[in-house]
Amino acid sequence: MAVVYAVICIFDFIIVPSWIGMTRADVLAGFEMMQLTTLDPQVQIKLIDSLTYQHMPFTLQGGGLFHLAFGALLTGSALNRLRGDK
C-alpha cells in the first residue's frame, strides 16, 4: 500500500506538473504587444490564462482528504505489524 501511495504522489506532484510545463503551447509566439492589444478583451484573457495555468494536484482537491485517508490506512497497517497481528 505504501508503494502505491508513493507512486500516486510522484505522479501527482512531479510527473504531471512537469508534463504540463513542457507541453504548454506558446500561444503568444506570433504576437507582438501591439497586436495583442487590438484583440477583443475576452480573447486577451483566454490567451493570458493559457500562459499562466498552474497544475492543481488532484490529490489535494477536497482538502487533502486523500492523503489523510492513506495516512490512516498506512498507520493502521504499521501499528498492526508492530503488535504482531495479522
Evaluate if pTM is beyond 0.85: no
pLDDT tens by residue, 51-60: 777 888 999 9
pLDDT tens by residue, 42-80: 988 888 787 777 888 999 998 899 999 999 999 998 888
Q: How far apart are CA 3 and CA 31, in angstroms?
A: 46
Angle between helices 65-83 and 2-10 (to 10 degrees): 150
Q: How far apart are CA 6 and CA 68, in angstroms?
A: 14
SS (H, E, C) 54-73: CCCCHHHCCCCHHHHHHHHH
